[in-house]
């Protein structure tokens, strides 16, 4: 089997028709869901691109891989999906975004040439990059956000789009009064992007993916990783006006959330992103564009599905559809992501396995508590029939796909490091304490804040919209101690014994004694003679007399 691992960036779990969206029809996502299992309680390991993706690609919690925020380099040598798959004889390719930052100091310290195969893989998070484009060719007084070259920008230039940065001037901008109307200004989200639809980022990457599928040989996993529907929120025609004011839901927010808000939540609420999304005109402009971008993603997913079927690859290809995190879109008075309310931390996850053993669960949903790190474990399981559990902290989802009901985890974890935010200086003494841990057990959602700040607690059974933080006042909830015990257990997990598996350790037992380490003998009668034979015999020359 091969693996098509497709990621959309910032795609909310509930903006798909198979997930019950009232207005948005996504027949191609639904088509995959109908062939597989849709996981209804899947959570990302951190509600922001970089660390979330590093968890997807390493199969390890954020605190385990350490790349805790956007642009924090993943340390050299950290094992990745690519390492595990290649060890099982499967190639692992990338087309699109990873948000990987290479550990340049580490490469230099270890004498690894960044241009060597090992160096390239270390720099591309373990993938063999067919093409890498993080999709944000942003530009400011300090230069470009992404210092690498952009295959997509090069494509646009080659297609005749004008200017140094057609990503900004065309793909992510409309036109207003003859002027560039940048997608960065959200009022412009209502405009069509100044680009032919077939040249937009989603279309371009899809075309590249199909080209790749036409030429790939051997056993492969391909990570097709779209930047959209991530901001800048602006869609090419005809997607820019498929949705309008009548499709914009009321924000899921409550005045009580603003009262005595947790200091970290309050810091985000006071930030520019949240302030923008607290305005109705922002939501009114952005949400239809966001829906249009998703609709476009769905149409292009259809191209890939059609191609797989037409080429005969469909029956050999397991498809994984997911996202790195959600998008608040004004819910909880927030924009973007960063915190742990469901619209931000929950992710869509659909896996379709065409093999007969997956027939039992085909077209069903699964409400097990799933984590993003389970994707890498699932891929390793597909590739090799086993999961290196001493490295991968996730669990294979294949049993669920077969309709089994394995013993499963009792809680999911997500983390957020806000040390990069200036307000961290005001909230914690040491910015290494600018960290949040979410633990959700299926009912209660605990958010622990390091550095002496109080926790947050939501009861999603009584309060599914997460308006009422039970730690604001009143007696401590009885669940709190139990949740904290779970968090402590998780904190003690063995995450770094990555050089030996359990079976390696079992195989080594007794080896020391068989190699002559015998620190328990009084007279040698305790063990078979074979173990002590090298320590017996006629004495050599006598040097014991020092007198």
Which 171-190 residues touch a second copy, going by CB under 8 A?
173-175, 178-182, 184-187
Angle, CA 40 vertex, CA 39 and CA 45 arms, to 5°: 80
Q: Which of residues 213-242 bind a second copy (CB under 8 A)?
A: 231-232, 236-238
Q: Contact 98/57 with Cβ under 8 angstroms?
A: yes
Phi, psi of 476, rounded to the nearest 5 degrees:
-60, 140
Kindly tell me which of 217 and 514 has the beta carbon lying closer to a second copy: 514
Q: Measured from the CB of residue 187, what is the shortest distance to a second copy in angstroms?
A: 5
Closest CA to 252 of 327, 164, 359, 159: 327
Q: Which of residues 436-455 bind a second copy (CB under 8 A)?
A: 437, 448, 450
Residues 119-148 vs a second copy: string with x where CB under 8 A? x--x-------------x-xxxxxxxx---
Q: Contact 518/528 with Cβ under 8 angstroms?
A: no
Q: Which of residues 450-489 bind a second copy (CB under 8 A)?
A: 450, 484, 487-488
3, 18, 49, 191: residue in contact with a second copy (rule CB under 8 A): 191
513 binds a second copy (CB under 8 A): yes
User: Per CB under 8 A, which region of 24-32, 252-260, 295-303, 502-510 contacts a second copy?
Assistant: 502-510
211 binds a second copy (CB under 8 A): no
Kindly tell me which of 20 and 238 has the beta carbon lying closer to a second copy: 238
The single residue listed with the structure tokens 């090419």 is: 236
How many residues bind a second copy (CB under 8 A)? The answer is 147
- In this structure, the chain runs to a length of 547
87 is written with which tokens?
């060890």
347 binds a second copy (CB under 8 A): no
Q: Measured from the CB of residue 371, what is the shortest distance to a second copy in angstroms?
A: 18
Q: Which of residues 370-429 bind a second copy (CB under 8 A)?
A: 389-390, 417, 419-422
Q: Measured from the CB of residue 473, what is the shortest distance to a second copy in angstroms?
A: 22
Q: Which of residues 32-91 bind a second copy (CB under 8 A)?
A: 63-78, 83
Phi, psi of 519, rounded to the nearest 5 degrees:
-85, 35
Closest CA to 365 of 349, 389, 385, 379: 349
Q: Contact 292/26 with Cβ under 8 angstroms?
A: no
Q: Measured from the CB of residue 514, what is the shortest distance to a second copy in angstroms?
A: 4
117 binds a second copy (CB under 8 A): yes
Phi, psi of 36, rounded to the nearest 5 degrees:
-145, -145
Q: Which of residues 265-324 bind a second copy (CB under 8 A)?
A: 271-273, 275-276, 279, 281-282
Residues 6+ apart with CB under 8 A from 102: 73, 74, 114, 122, 123, 124
Angle, CA 133 vertex, CA 130 and CA 137 arms, to 5°: 160
Kindly tell me which of 163 and 476 has the beta carbon lying closer to a second copy: 163
CB atoms within 10 A of CB 7: 23
192, 326, 330, 388: residue in contact with a second copy (rule CB under 8 A): 192
218, 312, 474, 538: residue in contact with a second copy (rule CB under 8 A): 538
Q: Measured from the CB of residue 321, what is the shortest distance to a second copy in angstroms?
A: 24
User: Per CB under 8 A, which region of 19-27, 102-110, 218-226, 398-406 contacts a second copy?
Assistant: 102-110
112 binds a second copy (CB under 8 A): yes
Name the DSSP class of 544: -
Kindly tell me which of 22 and 528 has the beta carbon lying closer to a second copy: 528
Phi, psi of 162, rounded to the nearest 5 degrees:
-85, 160
430, 443, 462, 464: residue in contact with a second copy (rule CB under 8 A): 430
- Which long-range contacts does 265-273 make (Cβ < 8 Å, 24+ apart)? 265/339, 265/456, 267/418, 267/421, 267/423, 267/426, 267/427, 268/334, 268/338, 268/339, 269/333, 269/334, 271/423, 273/334, 273/335, 273/336
Q: Measured from the CB of residue 271, what is the shortest distance to a second copy in angstroms?
A: 8
Q: Contact 303/206 with Cβ under 8 angstroms?
A: yes
Q: Measured from the CB of residue 327, what is the shortest distance to a second copy in angstroms?
A: 11
């Amino acid at each position: 089997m091969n693996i098509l691992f497709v990621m959309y960036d910032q795609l909310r779990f509930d903006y798909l028709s198979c997930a019950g969206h009232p207005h948005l029809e996504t027949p191609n996502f639904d088509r995959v869901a109908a062939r597989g299992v849709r996981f209804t309680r899947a959570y990302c390991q951190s509600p922001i691109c970089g660390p979330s993706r590093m968890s997807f690609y390493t199969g390890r919690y954020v605190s385990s891989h350490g790349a805790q925020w956007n642009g924090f380099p993943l340390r050299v040598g950290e094992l990745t999906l690519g390492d595990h798959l290649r060890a099982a004889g499967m190639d692992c390719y990338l087309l699109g975004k990873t948000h990987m930052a290479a550990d340049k100091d580490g490469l230099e310290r270890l004498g690894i040439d960044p241009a060597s195969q090992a160096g390239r893989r270390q720099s591309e998070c373990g993938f063999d990059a067919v093409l890498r484009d993080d999709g944000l060719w942003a530009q400011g007084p300090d230069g470009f956000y992404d210092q690498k070259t952009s295959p997509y920008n090069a494509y646009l230039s080659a297609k005749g789009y004008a200017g140094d940065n057609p990503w900004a001037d065309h793909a992510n901008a409309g036109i207003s009064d003859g002027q560039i109307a940048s997608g960065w200004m959200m009022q412009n989200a209502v405009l069509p992007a100044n680009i032919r639809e077939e040249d937009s980022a989603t279309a371009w990457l899809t075309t590249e993916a199909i080209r790749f599928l036409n030429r790939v040989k051997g056993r492969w996993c391909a990570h097709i990783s779209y930047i959209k529907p991530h901001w800048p929120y602006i869609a090419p025609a005809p997607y820019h006006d498929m949705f309008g004011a009548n499709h914009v839901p009321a924000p899921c927010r409550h005045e009580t959330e603003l009262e005595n808000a947790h200091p970290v939540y309050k810091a985000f609420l006071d930030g520019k992103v949240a302030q923008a999304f607290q305005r109705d005109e922002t939501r009114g402009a952005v949400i239809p564009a966001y829906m249009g971008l998703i609709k476009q993603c769905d149409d292009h997913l259809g191209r890939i599905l059609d191609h797989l079927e037409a080429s005969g690859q469909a029956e050999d290809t397991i498809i994984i559809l997911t996202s790195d995190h959600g998008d608040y879109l004004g819910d909880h008075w927030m924009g973007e992501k960063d915190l742990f309310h469901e619209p931000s931390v929950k992710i869509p996850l659909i896996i379709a396995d065409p093999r007969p053993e997956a027939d039992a669960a085909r077209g069903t949903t699964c409400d097990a508590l799933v984590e993003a790190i389970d994707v890498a474990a699932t891929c390793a399981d597909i590739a090799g029939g086993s999961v290196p559990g001493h490295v991968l902290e996730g669990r294979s989802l294949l049993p669920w796909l077969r309709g089994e009901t394995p013993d499963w985890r009792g809680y999911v974890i997500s983390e957020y490091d806000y040390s990069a935010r200036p307000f961290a200086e005001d909230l914690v003494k040491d910015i290494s304490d600018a960290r949040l841990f979410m633990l959700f057990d299926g009912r209660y959602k605990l958010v622990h804040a390091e550095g002496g700040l109080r926790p947050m607690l939501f009861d999603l059974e009584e309060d599914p919209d997460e308006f009422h933080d039970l730690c604001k006042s009143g007696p401590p909830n009885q669940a709190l101690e139990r949740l904290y015990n779970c968090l402590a257990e998780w904190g003690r997990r063995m995450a770094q014994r990555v050089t030996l598996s359990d079976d390696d350790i079992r195989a080594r037992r007794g080896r020391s004694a068989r190699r002559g380490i015998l620190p328990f003998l009084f007279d040698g009668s305790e063990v078979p003679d074979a173990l002590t034979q090298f320590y017996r015999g006629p004495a050599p020359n006598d040097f014991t007399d020092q007198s």
